[in-house]
Amino acid sequence: MAQATALGERRTSVDEVFDYLHDEITSLRLKPGDRISEAEVASRFNVSRQPVRDAFSRLANLDLLLIRPQRATEVRGFSMREIEKSRFVRASVEKEVLRRAADRCDAAGAAKLDAVLAQQDAVVANRDVERFGKLDYEFHKTLCAISGADYAFDVILEEKAKIDRLCVLGIEKEQRLPLLVADHRAMAQAVQAHDHEGAVAAAMLHLSRLDDTIARISASNAEYFEHAEV
């Protein structure tokens, strides 16, 4: 899911290139190790190379591209260290978000959570993985808004982006959408019941779902992972 420009903000050529490549990489249409030509991207969008360089830089900051001077830019592989770091940061932020949300959730907040969950149920019925990805972000964004810490979503967004490709592989191969939605429902119900620790426990279980996925993908697609510092 591309990181959208703020509502009302004029989109630039950098935004266009960034969004396109971000979707290509996180959807795995561009796989780890695939090379990307600055010149070819510039030609595709009919822009100069500078906007492409700027978009490349933003993607590199998300650990999605590897830019090396005098060498080809390529889609970055998965780093176990970066995965561990991202999950640590995200878990720390989400714990506080959920505790605050459980404190502050009112009828309006509860209704918003129920609305997102209803949409996710429809996604499960249709097996629409791409739509689930968008609603997954919407669910966590809603929790941040209820908590009164909407800015926390920026951190969650950045950390999720670093491992979204693994989530895509896991969902496609394991068909775990119903389980993930059930986790979201458990989190929402705990928040609605003002159960701080229940909400945190449900969230930590939800994040742990990726453990088996990482193990399976690292075994079956070892070429996707970085085995040495670059």
What are the residue ranges of CATH 1.10.10.10 in the chain? 13-75
The reported pLDDT for the residue numbered 1 is 45
pLDDT at 8 over 70: no
The Cα–Cα gap between 84 and 82 comes to: 5
Helix or strand run (H / E) with residue 140: helix 129-147
- Over residues 138-146, mean pLDDT: 97
What pLDDT score was predicted for residue 122? Answer: 94
Domain with CATH 1.20.120.530 in the chain: 80-222
Please give the residue that has the higher pLDDT: either 230 or 79. 79
When comparing pLDDT for 167 and 119, which is higher? 119
Mean pLDDT along residues 84-103: 96
Query: Is 125's pLDDT higher than 50?
Result: yes
Q: H or E segment at 99? A: helix 80-104
pLDDT tens for each residue of 21-59 = 999 998 889 999 999 999 999 999 999 999 999 999 999
pLDDT bucket at 158, cuts 50 / 70 / 90? confident
Neighbouring CB atoms inside 10 A of 156's CB total 19
The CATH number of the structural domain formed by 80-222 is: 1.20.120.530
Q: Taking the model in full, what pTM does it have?
A: 0.80
CA 184 – CA 23 distance, rounded (Å): 24
Question: Look-up: residue for tokens 């966590």?
Answer: 140
Beta strand pairing call for 35-36 and 65-66: unpaired
The pLDDT of residue 2: 47
Mean pLDDT of 136-161: 94
Instruction: List phi, psi (to 5°) of 75.
Output: -65, 130
**Lowest-pLDDT choice from 74-88, 121-135, 161-175:** 161-175
CATH number of 13-75: 1.10.10.10
**Phi-psi region for residue 69, left (φ > 0), alpha (ψ -120 to 50) or beta?**
beta
Mean pLDDT of the chain, nearest integer:
89
Closest to 213 (Cα-Cα) out of 173, 178, 181, 186: 173
| pLDDT over threshold 80, residue 211 | yes
Model confidence at 5: pLDDT above 60: no
Assign 7 a pLDDT band (cuts: 50, 70, 90).
Answer: very low
- For residue 189, pLDDT over 80 is answered with yes
Band of residue 213 on the pLDDT scale cut at 50, 70, 90: confident
